[in-house]
Amino acid sequence: MVTLQLRQIDISPGQRITLKDISWQEFEDILAELGEDCASRLAYDQGILEIRMPLSEHEKAKVIIGDLLKILLDELEMNWEPYGSTTFKKEEMKVGIEPDDSFYIKNYNRTSGKERIDLTVAPPPDLAIEVDVTSKTQLSVYEGLGVPEIWRYENRKLQINVLSNGKYIEVSESPTFPKIPIIEGITQHLEMSRIDGTSNALRAFRKWIRNYL
């Protein structure tokens, strides 16, 4: 059997590799070896580990969606805590993932001021953002973690998934922001960012929210 070290594996942007029969301890060791500043994203599900390297297209979209969400939270005067691509994991469920972005909103007060999140004592993030450019979001991992809401962006359209009886269902309205056309607003202003630039799109989104409210 040939044994390779992670530093010997070169993953190009937009590519991914899948490793099978990875134990929980091996997953923990890989996380430690890669470190918190690693550019790749990891998803672990029942012994299968996926390591993917995002494209610039992916990174830009997830940053803009996160910025749009922050504007929305600000205009609604809602409290929140950002946790970005923090590694969320549950050993008893044998799952772990590094989302593109993540936020505590309803449970912001339970994580405020904490640099590390231990899901054995803290709730999972209230909302996660995933941009699917070269790979699909592994919903089974999020189901194991119990994340209530996921915003998935694929093919220039936003999709909202909420956890219902342990499984995700697609909905037309965000339970975090009821009666606000989130899908329309996010999709429209992401497209605007491509044409008119990100700054103009963010300012236009703030005006859109204020007019709607």
Q: Domain of 100: which CATH number?
A: 3.90.1570
> Does residue 24 sit within a domain?
no
Q: What is the dihedral of CA 114, 117, 120, 123, to 10 degrees?
A: 80
Bridging pattern class, strands 88-90 and 95-97: antiparallel
The pTM (predicted TM-score) of the whole model is 0.89
The one-letter amino acid at 131 = V
Q: For position 1, what pLDDT does the model report?
A: 40
> Does residue 135 sit within a domain?
yes
Query: In terms of Cα–Cα distance, which of 68, 74, 79, 88 is closest to 113?
Result: 79
* Domain range enclosing 141: 55-212
Q: For position 4, what pLDDT does the model report?
A: 46
Tokens of 74: 């600000």
Query: In terms of Cα–Cα distance, which of 53, 108, 109 is closest to 82?
Result: 108
**Measured between alpha carbons, how far is 141 from 95 in angstroms, rounded to an integer?**
6
> Does residue 30 sit within a domain?
no
Residue 122 near residue 113 (C-beta atoms within 8 A): no
**Measured between alpha carbons, how far is 141 from 46 in angstroms, rounded to an integer?**
9
The H or E element spanning position 128 is: strand 127-131
> Does residue 173 sit within a domain?
yes
Average pLDDT for runs of 10 along the chain of length 213:
50 74 92 75 92 78 96 96 93 94 94 81 95 82 97 93 96 95 96 95 97 87
> Does residue 28 sit within a domain?
no
> Does residue 23 sit within a domain?
no
> Does residue 151 sit within a domain?
yes
> Does residue 159 sit within a domain?
yes
Domain count, the chain: 1
Q: How many alpha carbons fall within 13 Å on the CB side of residue 161? A: 22
**Measured between alpha carbons, how far is 103 from 108 in angstroms, rounded to an integer?**
8
Q: How many alpha carbons fall within 13 Å on the CB side of residue 60? A: 11
